[in-house]
Amino acid sequence: MPLDEVKTAVGIDVGLKEFLTTSEGKTVPIQQTYRKTQAHLARAQRQLARKEKGSNRANKQKNKIARIHQRIGRIRENFHYNTAHNLVKKYDLIAVEDLNIKGLARTKLSKSILDAAWGKFINILESVAVKCSVRVVKVNPHGTSQNCSNCGTKVPKTLSMRLHECPKCGLAMDRDENAALNILDRALNEVGLILSRQCVAGGTPVEATAAARGGLVDGQPRAARNFRWFFRWKPPSYCLQLTGENVTRALVCVSDLLSLAIEFPKCLRLLYSHKNTYLAR
Ligand SMILES: [Zn+2]
Protein backbone atom coordinates (compact mmCIF):
# COMPACT_ATOMS: atom_id res chain seq x y z
CA MET A 1 0.00 0.00 0.00
CA PRO A 2 1.40 3.41 -0.93
CA LEU A 3 2.12 5.64 2.01
CA ASP A 4 -0.34 8.36 1.05
CA GLU A 5 -3.18 5.84 1.13
CA VAL A 6 -2.57 5.04 4.77
CA LYS A 7 -5.65 6.25 6.63
CA THR A 8 -5.48 4.42 9.92
CA ALA A 9 -2.48 3.56 12.02
CA VAL A 10 -1.98 1.83 15.33
CA GLY A 11 0.89 1.19 17.72
CA ILE A 12 1.16 -2.05 19.68
CA ASP A 13 2.91 -2.70 22.95
CA VAL A 14 3.45 -6.18 24.28
CA GLY A 15 3.02 -6.57 27.97
CA LEU A 16 3.35 -8.96 30.84
CA LYS A 17 -0.16 -8.21 31.99
CA GLU A 18 -1.97 -8.10 28.66
CA PHE A 19 -0.89 -9.87 25.52
CA LEU A 20 -0.93 -6.55 23.76
CA THR A 21 -2.15 -3.00 24.21
CA THR A 22 -2.94 -0.71 21.27
CA SER A 23 -2.34 3.02 21.08
CA GLU A 24 -6.11 3.40 21.24
CA GLY A 25 -6.11 1.84 24.67
CA LYS A 26 -7.63 -1.47 23.65
CA THR A 27 -6.18 -4.63 25.09
CA VAL A 28 -6.00 -8.25 24.06
CA PRO A 29 -5.67 -10.47 27.13
CA ILE A 30 -3.41 -13.48 27.37
CA GLN A 31 -5.55 -16.52 26.72
CA GLN A 32 -6.86 -18.35 29.74
CA THR A 33 -6.84 -21.69 27.97
CA TYR A 34 -3.14 -21.30 27.47
CA ARG A 35 -2.56 -20.79 31.19
CA LYS A 36 -4.69 -23.79 32.03
CA THR A 37 -2.78 -25.96 29.58
CA GLN A 38 0.45 -24.83 31.18
CA ALA A 39 -0.70 -26.15 34.54
CA HIS A 40 -1.59 -29.40 32.82
CA LEU A 41 1.89 -29.55 31.33
CA ALA A 42 3.58 -28.90 34.66
CA ARG A 43 1.65 -31.75 36.25
CA ALA A 44 2.61 -34.15 33.48
CA GLN A 45 6.24 -33.17 33.85
CA ARG A 46 6.16 -33.80 37.58
CA GLN A 47 4.72 -37.24 36.88
CA LEU A 48 7.56 -37.97 34.48
CA ALA A 49 10.14 -37.02 37.09
CA ARG A 50 8.76 -39.70 39.41
CA LYS A 51 9.09 -42.47 36.84
CA GLU A 52 12.18 -44.58 36.30
CA LYS A 53 14.35 -43.33 33.42
CA GLY A 54 14.13 -45.35 30.23
CA SER A 55 11.23 -47.40 31.49
CA ASN A 56 8.12 -48.09 29.49
CA ARG A 57 6.05 -45.87 31.73
CA ALA A 58 8.53 -43.00 31.39
CA ASN A 59 8.43 -43.26 27.60
CA LYS A 60 4.66 -43.21 27.62
CA GLN A 61 4.69 -40.16 29.83
CA LYS A 62 7.18 -38.43 27.51
CA ASN A 63 4.83 -39.04 24.64
CA LYS A 64 2.02 -37.50 26.63
CA ILE A 65 4.12 -34.39 27.33
CA ALA A 66 5.02 -34.02 23.68
CA ARG A 67 1.34 -34.08 22.80
CA ILE A 68 0.60 -31.36 25.36
CA HIS A 69 3.38 -29.22 23.87
CA GLN A 70 1.88 -29.71 20.45
CA ARG A 71 -1.53 -28.70 21.75
CA ILE A 72 -0.16 -25.55 23.40
CA GLY A 73 1.60 -24.64 20.18
CA ARG A 74 -1.59 -25.03 18.17
CA ILE A 75 -3.70 -23.03 20.60
CA ARG A 76 -1.15 -20.25 20.59
CA GLU A 77 -0.79 -20.19 16.83
CA ASN A 78 -4.53 -20.06 16.39
CA PHE A 79 -4.73 -17.19 18.85
CA HIS A 80 -1.92 -15.35 17.02
CA TYR A 81 -3.65 -15.71 13.67
CA ASN A 82 -6.95 -14.47 15.06
CA THR A 83 -5.32 -11.48 16.72
CA ALA A 84 -3.31 -10.63 13.61
CA HIS A 85 -6.39 -10.83 11.38
CA ASN A 86 -8.34 -8.53 13.69
CA LEU A 87 -5.58 -5.91 13.56
CA VAL A 88 -4.98 -6.14 9.82
CA LYS A 89 -8.69 -5.76 9.15
CA LYS A 90 -8.82 -2.49 11.06
CA TYR A 91 -5.58 -0.67 10.26
CA ASP A 92 -3.45 0.29 7.27
CA LEU A 93 -0.26 0.62 9.26
CA ILE A 94 0.74 -1.34 12.34
CA ALA A 95 3.71 -0.29 14.46
CA VAL A 96 5.42 -2.88 16.63
CA GLU A 97 8.56 -3.13 18.70
CA ASP A 98 11.65 -4.66 17.17
CA LEU A 99 12.40 -7.17 19.85
CA ASN A 100 15.95 -8.06 18.93
CA ILE A 101 16.99 -4.60 19.95
CA LYS A 102 14.90 -4.87 23.05
CA GLY A 103 16.72 -7.96 24.16
CA LEU A 104 19.94 -6.02 24.03
CA ALA A 105 18.54 -2.84 25.47
CA ARG A 106 16.85 -4.42 28.43
CA THR A 107 19.29 -6.12 30.66
CA LYS A 108 17.45 -5.76 33.91
CA LEU A 109 14.14 -7.26 33.01
CA SER A 110 13.70 -10.51 31.26
CA LYS A 111 10.76 -10.63 28.98
CA SER A 112 12.22 -13.78 27.50
CA ILE A 113 9.27 -15.96 28.43
CA LEU A 114 7.07 -13.75 26.34
CA ASP A 115 9.68 -12.99 23.69
CA ALA A 116 9.48 -16.30 21.90
CA ALA A 117 5.72 -16.13 21.59
CA TRP A 118 5.80 -12.44 20.73
CA GLY A 119 8.40 -12.99 18.02
CA LYS A 120 6.23 -15.68 16.49
CA PHE A 121 3.24 -13.39 16.66
CA ILE A 122 5.12 -10.65 14.80
CA ASN A 123 6.05 -13.14 12.08
CA ILE A 124 2.43 -14.20 11.74
CA LEU A 125 1.26 -10.59 11.78
CA GLU A 126 3.73 -9.74 9.03
CA SER A 127 2.66 -12.64 6.86
CA VAL A 128 -1.02 -11.78 7.29
CA ALA A 129 -0.28 -8.10 6.63
CA VAL A 130 1.59 -8.83 3.41
CA LYS A 131 -1.44 -10.66 2.05
CA CYS A 132 -3.70 -7.70 2.80
CA SER A 133 -1.05 -5.13 1.79
CA VAL A 134 -0.95 -3.61 5.26
CA ARG A 135 2.30 -2.11 6.48
CA VAL A 136 4.03 -3.43 9.57
CA VAL A 137 6.75 -1.10 10.85
CA LYS A 138 9.24 -2.29 13.44
CA VAL A 139 10.77 0.36 15.67
CA ASN A 140 13.49 0.58 18.25
CA PRO A 141 11.67 -0.05 21.53
CA HIS A 142 14.27 1.63 23.70
CA GLY A 143 12.58 3.93 26.22
CA THR A 144 9.09 3.54 24.81
CA SER A 145 7.64 2.67 28.18
CA GLN A 146 9.52 5.40 30.03
CA ASN A 147 9.07 8.44 27.81
CA CYS A 148 5.93 10.55 27.92
CA SER A 149 3.98 10.16 24.69
CA ASN A 150 2.75 13.71 24.93
CA CYS A 151 5.84 15.78 25.72
CA GLY A 152 8.74 13.33 25.52
CA THR A 153 9.87 13.74 29.11
CA LYS A 154 11.45 10.66 30.61
CA VAL A 155 9.26 9.38 33.41
CA PRO A 156 11.05 6.50 35.12
CA LYS A 157 8.77 3.79 36.41
CA THR A 158 9.08 0.29 37.72
CA LEU A 159 7.14 -2.61 36.27
CA SER A 160 4.63 -2.55 39.10
CA MET A 161 3.62 1.02 38.31
CA ARG A 162 0.72 0.52 35.95
CA LEU A 163 0.01 4.19 35.36
CA HIS A 164 2.03 6.72 33.43
CA GLU A 165 1.85 10.10 35.13
CA CYS A 166 3.88 12.88 33.59
CA PRO A 167 5.02 15.55 36.08
CA LYS A 168 5.71 18.01 33.24
CA CYS A 169 2.57 17.98 31.12
CA GLY A 170 0.21 16.17 33.47
CA LEU A 171 -0.61 13.33 31.10
CA ALA A 172 -2.01 10.34 32.97
CA MET A 173 -2.79 7.08 31.21
CA ASP A 174 -2.15 3.38 31.26
CA ARG A 175 1.57 2.68 30.94
CA ASP A 176 1.14 0.20 28.10
CA GLU A 177 -1.06 2.61 26.19
CA ASN A 178 1.59 5.29 26.61
CA ALA A 179 4.20 2.89 25.28
CA ALA A 180 1.98 1.96 22.33
CA LEU A 181 1.60 5.66 21.49
CA ASN A 182 5.38 6.06 21.54
CA ILE A 183 5.78 3.05 19.28
CA LEU A 184 3.22 4.44 16.82
CA ASP A 185 4.90 7.83 16.90
CA ARG A 186 8.30 6.38 16.10
CA ALA A 187 6.93 4.32 13.25
CA LEU A 188 5.18 7.33 11.72
CA ASN A 189 8.35 9.36 11.96
CA GLU A 190 10.31 6.55 10.41
CA VAL A 191 8.13 6.23 7.34
CA GLY A 192 7.62 9.99 7.07
CA LEU A 193 3.93 10.19 7.84
CA ILE A 194 2.40 13.11 9.65
CA LEU A 195 -0.62 12.51 11.79
CA SER A 196 -2.21 15.05 14.03
CA ARG A 197 -1.88 14.58 17.74
CA GLN A 198 -5.64 14.45 18.18
CA CYS A 199 -6.02 11.66 15.68
CA VAL A 200 -3.34 9.55 17.28
CA ALA A 201 -4.68 9.97 20.79
CA GLY A 202 -8.35 10.06 19.97
CA GLY A 203 -8.64 6.68 18.39
CA THR A 204 -10.76 7.87 15.49
CA PRO A 205 -9.79 7.02 11.92
CA VAL A 206 -6.76 9.04 11.16
CA GLU A 207 -6.32 11.62 8.43
CA ALA A 208 -2.87 10.89 7.22
CA THR A 209 -0.67 12.96 5.03
CA ALA A 210 2.28 11.44 3.30
CA ALA A 211 5.47 13.34 3.32
CA ALA A 212 7.24 10.66 1.40
CA ARG A 213 7.70 10.67 -2.37
CA GLY A 214 9.68 13.86 -2.36
CA GLY A 215 6.92 16.22 -1.41
CA LEU A 216 6.40 17.78 1.94
CA VAL A 217 2.67 18.23 2.01
CA ASP A 218 0.65 20.58 4.07
CA GLY A 219 -0.26 18.28 6.86
CA GLN A 220 -2.03 19.35 9.97
CA PRO A 221 0.11 21.38 12.32
CA ARG A 222 2.05 19.11 14.56
CA ALA A 223 3.04 19.99 18.06
CA ALA A 224 6.72 20.13 18.80
CA ARG A 225 7.77 16.70 19.86
CA ASN A 226 10.82 14.93 20.97
CA PHE A 227 12.97 14.06 18.00
CA ARG A 228 15.98 12.74 19.85
CA TRP A 229 15.81 9.21 18.55
CA PHE A 230 16.33 10.22 14.97
CA PHE A 231 20.00 10.00 15.62
CA ARG A 232 19.82 6.36 16.46
CA TRP A 233 18.26 5.40 13.19
CA LYS A 234 20.01 4.18 10.18
CA PRO A 235 20.99 7.00 7.82
CA PRO A 236 20.03 8.70 5.70
CA SER A 237 17.10 10.37 7.34
CA TYR A 238 16.55 14.01 8.02
CA CYS A 239 14.08 15.86 10.11
CA LEU A 240 12.74 18.86 8.29
CA GLN A 241 10.60 21.76 9.21
CA LEU A 242 8.75 23.67 6.60
CA THR A 243 8.09 27.08 8.02
CA GLY A 244 5.10 28.94 6.74
CA GLU A 245 1.46 29.11 7.59
CA ASN A 246 1.46 25.54 8.75
CA VAL A 247 4.45 24.28 10.60
CA THR A 248 5.12 20.85 9.24
CA ARG A 249 7.77 18.40 10.11
CA ALA A 250 8.75 15.32 8.25
CA LEU A 251 11.42 12.75 8.07
CA VAL A 252 12.80 12.33 4.58
CA CYS A 253 15.63 10.65 2.80
CA VAL A 254 18.47 12.39 0.96
CA SER A 255 16.97 12.46 -2.53
CA ASP A 256 13.76 13.98 -1.18
CA LEU A 257 15.78 16.46 0.79
CA LEU A 258 17.55 17.72 -2.30
CA SER A 259 14.37 18.10 -4.35
CA LEU A 260 12.78 19.95 -1.46
CA ALA A 261 15.75 22.25 -1.20
CA ILE A 262 15.22 23.24 -4.81
CA GLU A 263 11.50 23.71 -4.39
CA PHE A 264 11.47 25.57 -1.11
CA PRO A 265 14.87 27.20 -0.78
CA LYS A 266 13.83 29.72 1.81
CA CYS A 267 11.30 28.13 4.07
CA LEU A 268 13.01 24.86 4.62
CA ARG A 269 14.87 24.45 7.83
CA LEU A 270 16.75 21.37 8.79
CA LEU A 271 16.20 20.43 12.37
CA TYR A 272 18.41 17.41 12.67
CA SER A 273 20.58 15.40 10.42
CA HIS A 274 23.11 12.72 10.89
CA LYS A 275 26.01 14.73 9.62
CA ASN A 276 24.77 18.30 9.85
CA THR A 277 26.01 18.90 6.33
CA TYR A 278 22.79 19.67 4.53
CA LEU A 279 20.86 22.90 4.58
CA ALA A 280 21.73 23.98 8.07
CA ARG A 281 20.43 27.48 8.41
ZN1 LIG B 1 4.48 14.67 29.49
Q: How many residues belong to the chain?
A: 281
Peptide bond connecting 141 to the previous residue in cis, omega within 30 degrees of 0: no
Across the chain, mean pLDDT equals 70
Ligand 1 centroid to residue 155 C-alpha, Å: 8
Rounded mean pLDDT, 147-160: 86
Rounded mean pLDDT, 250-273: 49
pLDDT at 175 over 80: yes
pLDDT at 186 over 60: yes
Reported as a pLDDT band with limits 50, 70 and 90, residue 261 is low
Positions marked catalytic: 13, 97, 176
> Crossing angle for the helix pair 32-50 and 56-90, nearest 10 degrees?
160
Ligand 1 centroid to residue 259 C-alpha, Å: 35
More confident residue, 210 or 168: 168
**Whole-prediction pTM value?**
0.63
Rounded mean pLDDT, 66-78: 87
Give the angle subtended at the CA of 29 by the CAs of 187 and 188, to the nearest 5°. 5
Rounded mean pLDDT, 43-69: 91
Ligand 1 centroid to residue 147 C-alpha, Å: 8
Reported as a pLDDT band with limits 50, 70 and 90, residue 192 is confident
Ligand 1 centroid to residue 35 C-alpha, Å: 36
Ligand 1 centroid to residue 206 C-alpha, Å: 22
CA distances from 17 to 20, 23, 29, 112 (A): 8, 16, 8, 14
Q: Which of 145, 153, 144, 248 is nearest to 195 (CA)?
A: 248
Contact 21, 95 (CB under 8 A): no
Q: What is the structure's pLDDT at 228?
A: 26
- Enumerate the β-bridge partners of residue 172: 165
